[in-house]
Amino acid sequence: MSYRLKKFLINMIPIKSLRRKLRNKNQHYFMFQEQYSECHISREAILHSPENIKMGKNVYIGKGVKIFAEGGITIEDNATFAADITVLTTSHNFKHAQALPFDKIGYLEEVYIGKNVWIGAQSFILSGVKIEEGAIVAAGSVVTKSIPSCAIVGGNPAKIIGWRDKAEYNKLERAKKYFYCDGIEWQRKKGFKKYLEE
């Protein structure tokens, strides 16, 4: 159901309190769909403090993504967030704290997601990190430090496990070959991955 149709149907409900409740529940979704109409934002995504989110074009935010944007987040063009990713932009003071486990001082730390970044499912992006252009975050990673351009990272905490081919990346970028989330052609791969080395 399109967001315009959903908004229209909510406005047709005769009970004012129910209309208000449904509007409040869907407010971030309506606001983002209108402001970022060139992006795909899942209805199941949770966007806290959406006024602190700056987003480019053709951004994909999948189902179950939670962005806590109190400290601010910038998401550049063509970034892809798979399902169930959490992004935090705040942290607590525990060094020289006046209480345990942390004190009343909280830190707002901006997060930056560069263009063409792909973040795999169930990853955590912690506050104050910068993920530069073309980087890939493997599924289930916990990103605690900034990631350089075209790096492939994975693990907890995330470490560099490989690199994108920069020549190929630059060729696709110059040709503006971007994926627009309008359908994937699945192809079956045979065999299994190599065994871990002992």
Residues 6+ apart with CB under 8 A from 164: 134, 135, 136, 150, 151, 152
Q: Which tens digit of pLDDT belongs to each residue from 141-181?
A: 999 999 999 999 999 999 999 999 999 999 999 998 887 76
Residue 71 has pLDDT above 90, yes or no: yes
**Residues 105-132, mean pLDDT to the nearest whole number:** 96
Summarize the confidence of residues 48-73 as an average pLDDT: 93
Region 23-46 average pLDDT: 70
Question: Over the range 131-166, which residues count as b (16 or more CB within 10 Å of their CB) and which as e?
Answer: bbbbbbbbeebbbeeebebbbbbbeeebeeeeebee
* Residue 48 bears catalytic tag: no
What is the reported pLDDT for 25? 62
- Set 28, 40, 48, 92: catalytic member: 92
Residue that is written with structure tokens 């005769």 in the block: 14
Mean pLDDT, residues 47-64: 91
Report the chain's mean pLDDT, rounded to a whole number: 87
* pLDDT higher than threshold 70 for residue 31: no
| 16-35 and 3-11 helices, crossing angle to 10° | 160
**Residue 3 scores a pLDDT above 60:** no
Predicted local distance difference test score (pLDDT) of residue 94: 86
Least confident of 29-43, 62-76, 77-91: 29-43
At residue 19 the predicted structure's pLDDT band, cuts being 50, 70 and 90, is low
Instruction: Please list the residue range(s) of the chain that carry CATH number 2.160.10.10.
Output: 39-174
Q: 68: closest CA among 41, 47, 37? A: 47
CATH topology classification for 39-174: UDP N-Acetylglucosamine Acyltransferase; domain 1 (2.160.10)
For residue 8, what are its two tokens?
Answer: 């229209």
Interior/surface letters 82-109, b for 16+ CB within 10 angstroms, e for the rest:
bbbbbbbbbbeeeeeeeeeeeeeeeeeb
> What's the pLDDT score for residue 44?
87
Per-residue pLDDT, 35: 66
Q: Which residue has the higher pLDDT, 87 or 39?
A: 87
Residue 115 pLDDT: 96
pLDDT of residue 88: 97
